[in-house]
Structure 1
Amino acid sequence: MSNEETVQQSAAPGPSAGSQLKAARESRGLAINDIAKAQHLRPSVIQAIENGDYEQIDTELFLKGYVRAYANHVGLDPKVVLSQLDQELEPLRREKEQAHQASPLVTIEQKKRRKKRIARVILILLFLSLAGFIGYRVFLQGATLESLTSIGQNESGVAPEGEGDSPAVDDAGSVPLAPSADAEDDQVITPVEPDPESEPLAEAVQPEPESRVEATETGTPEPAEPIVETAVEETVAEPQPEVQPAPDVSPAAAPPVTTEAAATPGNLTAVFKADCWIRVTDANGDLLVSALRRSGQSLDVTGTPPLKVVIGAVDAVDSMSFEGQTLDLGSYRVVNNRAEFSLN
């Protein structure tokens, strides 16, 4: 007897699940080949279950499915047998977990995750440092520009507010008084004769007089007609470019848009009379379902064909149809009560 079987028997009080199934089989007078043929399994699988050599089975899910079908076949309660099987599998689960934790691959993966976390923290710190440096530079440039502006104003001689209103002081130290309004009235304005040479400049600067007096032959001044200079603006009409009419674009003239017809999804339905694991994926590789269906439950999935179907226990399927057509599961290849096929 192996060490694992000893651990299982010591951890699980009472007869093991395999011994219960074996006793029930022998009481009915059935051979191992009879059970294997009825369950579509190899005789070695039935023998491994009875001997408690559960590592011969691929997964725990398949093991429970085989034990459940075996118990139903020999007339035992599947719940009682599976409860005993869970107690026997608990030490194996612990050993697998310990082996998984001690695996070098797990250690390497943990180191990789730790390095990724450290790298992420370093990147965040670098980003915050860069943002703080940029903010400091912007603040420093603003302060420097402010100080340069104030220095430039002082050098340009702009007097501060309030200083420009102070009166000027002469050499004697006295403040001259501002001239009064009466003094301005008493001032005599003497006309200044214009210089002949500066007459053209004066005429150009001074506004045009409203009237001009010209001397006649007799010497009698006559009022001159006002000379009004008018500027005639000639507007040249620029040729406007011809506006071409926009082409008539109507929905009827638009080219037809062709679209590819989408693939018609396929519908798969199934009804189960016992517990069964099933997985269905579509043509895009999307997983439509991967779960354990109990007795009396049904399945209804839709996806892009072809659908890839994997059934863990063929005899647990009561009926299955694809696109409304009932499928004959006996026509597909069944190995160890397990079938895998595609539906188009």
Structure 2
Amino acid sequence: MSIGNSPSDDRPSVGRALAQARIAAGLSIDEVSTSTRVRVPILQAIEQDDFSRCGGDVYARGHIRTIARAVGLDPEPLVERYVAEHAGEIAPAPVTPLYEAERIRSEPRRPNWTAAMIAAIVAVVGFVGYTAFSGGDDGGTSAKATPTATTTPPPSQSPQGNGVPKPPSPSNSAIAAAPPGKVTVKASAAGGTSWIQATDGNGKQLYQNSLKKGESMTWTDDKKIKLVVGNAGAVQLFVNGKDIGLAGDKGQVAHLTYTPGDPSQG
């Protein structure tokens, strides 16, 4: 079984490119394993261009994409290089059909609680409606509804007296400024998924995970907020209530520090 081609200095192999990006991002094997849920032995083998532990080409490509995003690389060129160099070398894992069969058999056993709740609600509403309409039959007469005058003033008689609705009061900015003497940083994954690590002024880790597209996180500290941002071109930053733009370029790993009185990139 082939373990991979020897990388050249100007064109590293798939495994070496992932390893170099991880080291540049200041991440350990265990940290990447935690954020991607790819086991440590598989990560170590992939960085050595040994894809035999992946269980097949499909799984190998999936692991490459996940790891590349975690360390701030564009996954597609790496997947294309893997296909050109390794496709067809790894036999698919034999456990997949068994797993699929077990998953398919287990699904019909789940009770359909939603349908049961809807049926119960319909039954209660029907009973209440029947009781309301049949309640007057006992005395031989039915009650008649008496129209009542509405007390709601028309638009021309609104409390303002001029017929013009009161305009809504202006809302505050969606990005709150930091309290005095503190620094507040908000990261929003506007352009795609990015791996982010945030620590406070005492070195305490506040966050370490992949931020998916459309998600955002906010951190506040008395001294400073330090960020490591993978795929920096996908992350929009707001510091102390001000939009300072993207954290960096697409695929770049950015190391940033912000303090009270910013936004000036540290």
- Report the TM-score when normalising by structure 1: 0.31
- Report the TM-score when normalising by structure 2: 0.38
- Larger Cα Rg: Structure 1 or Structure 2? 1
Q: Quick one: higher RCO (CA 8 Å, sep 6+), 1 or 2?
A: 2
Identify, as 1 or 2, the structure richer in helix.
1
